[in-house]
């Protein structure tokens, strides 16, 4: 039987509900993330991707619907349990996140473990481990303003995975990276995924989505297409994704 890390049913989001500006950005939607899934969310700008991701990463509440984490509905969790879940089981990575300027890269990466009151030796060892995975172990003692944009972005990725989360939610995680760095970060997600971490990734880029096992395409707040990689090669999957998204581009002309 499928083992779900996250199951969302009937999720919708109406902004400015009960006002004349009410806008249904997300129509009732079902999403399931199985243990070990690597799901990409694609779709045109304004389609509702960020709205969905904010809800799935528990940073916003849906207008209708419910979310089950590890088979247990979120309304069953106390606020403290949800905060712990968000901190330890869910790795949220977005390039809109910042690193604290007064903390070193090491302290920034360590934050989720520091908040969870893990012991210092364990934190130090784990931070070094993820920094090595992302190739930034040489900048751990530096402050963010002494690092390059790519190094800062990798540090944000490290902070997102340091607690060994059950699943990672990443909103355009390679947005500002060059292609070599992007492939390295995506390769890392793939590696974590193969070890059992669920990955949910928002992107507009078919190359990035081609690392996933399943792509959900959203238009006008609704899931309009789902494409599974199955046993296709990454190149074949990429070509299908280009075809899937080009339908939409053609409509513009
Ligand atoms: P995407 O991430 O696919 O670009 P969003 O989820 O950001 O799309 O937005 C979906 C729709 O909801 C857009 O039309 C956007 O203008 C609208 N929207 C997003 N956030 C808000 C908000 N806080 N208040 C009102 N409308 C919003």
Domains of the chain: 4-250 (3.40.50.300)
d(CA 182, CA 170): 13
Query: What are the start-end ranges of the H helices in the chain?
Result: 49-56, 79-88, 105-115, 120-133, 149-161, 179-194, 206-209, 234-250
Determine the pLDDT at residue 176. Answer: 73
The whole-number mean pLDDT for each consecutive block of 10 residues of the chain, a chain of 253 residues, reads: 86 96 96 88 93 91 94 92 89 87 97 94 96 94 94 92 91 83 88 89 93 94 94 96 78 52
d(CA 82, CA 6): 13
Determine the pLDDT at residue 249. Answer: 57
203 CB under 6 A from ligand 1?
no
Ligand 1 centroid to residue 90 C-alpha, Å: 23
d(CA 244, CA 224): 11
The pLDDT tens digits of the residues spanning 58-78 come to 889 999 999 999 889 999 999
48 CB under 6 A from ligand 1?
yes
Using most ligand atoms within 8 A of CB, pick from 23, 42, 55, 94 the residue to mutate for ligand 1: 23
Q: Which atom of ligand 1 is nearest to the CA of 44?
A: 3
49 CB under 6 A from ligand 1?
yes
165 CB under 6 A from ligand 1?
no
Ligand 1 centroid to residue 180 C-alpha, Å: 31
Determine the pLDDT at residue 219. Answer: 94
DSSP three-state, residue 24: strand
Q: Ligand 1: which residue has its CA nearest to atom 25?
A: 15
Concatenated DSSP letters of 9-22: EEEEEEETTTSTT-
CA 82-80-166 angle, 5° bins: 35
Ligand 1 centroid to residue 60 C-alpha, Å: 13
Pairing of strands 4-15, 64-69: antiparallel
Query: What's the DSSP call for residue 2?
Result: -
């Amino acid at each position: 039987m499928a083992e779900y890390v996250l199951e969302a049913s009937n999720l919708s989001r109406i902004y400015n509900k009960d006002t004349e500006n009410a806008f249904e950005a997300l129509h009732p939607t079902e999403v399931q993330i199985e243990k070990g899934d690597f799901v990409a969310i694609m779709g045109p700008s304004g389609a509702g991707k960020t709205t969905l991701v904010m809800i799935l990463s528990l940073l916003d509440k849906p207008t209708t619907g419910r979310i089950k984490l590890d088979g247990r509905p979120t309304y069953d969790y106390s606020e403290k349990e949800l905060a712990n879940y968000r901190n330890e089981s869910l790795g949220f990575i977005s390039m809109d996140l910042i690193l604290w300027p007064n903390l070193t890269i090491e302290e920034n990466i360590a934050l989720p473990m520091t908040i969870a009151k893990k012991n210092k030796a364990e934190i130090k060892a784990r931070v070094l481990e993820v920094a090595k995975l992302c190739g930034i172990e040489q900048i751990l003692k530096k402050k963010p303003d002494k690092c390059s944009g790519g190094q800062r972005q990798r540090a944000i990725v490290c902070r997102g995975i340091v607690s060994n989360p059950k699943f990672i939610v990443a909103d355009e995680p390679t947005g500002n990276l060059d292609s070599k760095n992007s492939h390295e970060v995506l390769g890392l997600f793939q590696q974590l995924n193969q070890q059992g971490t669920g990955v949910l990734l928002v992107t507009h880029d078919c190359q990035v989505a081609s690392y996933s096992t399943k792509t959900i395409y959203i238009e006008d707040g609704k899931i309009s297409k789902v494409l599974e990689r199955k046993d296709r090669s990454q190149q074949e999957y990429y070509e299908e994704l280009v075809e899937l998204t080009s339908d939409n581009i053609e409509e513009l002309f």
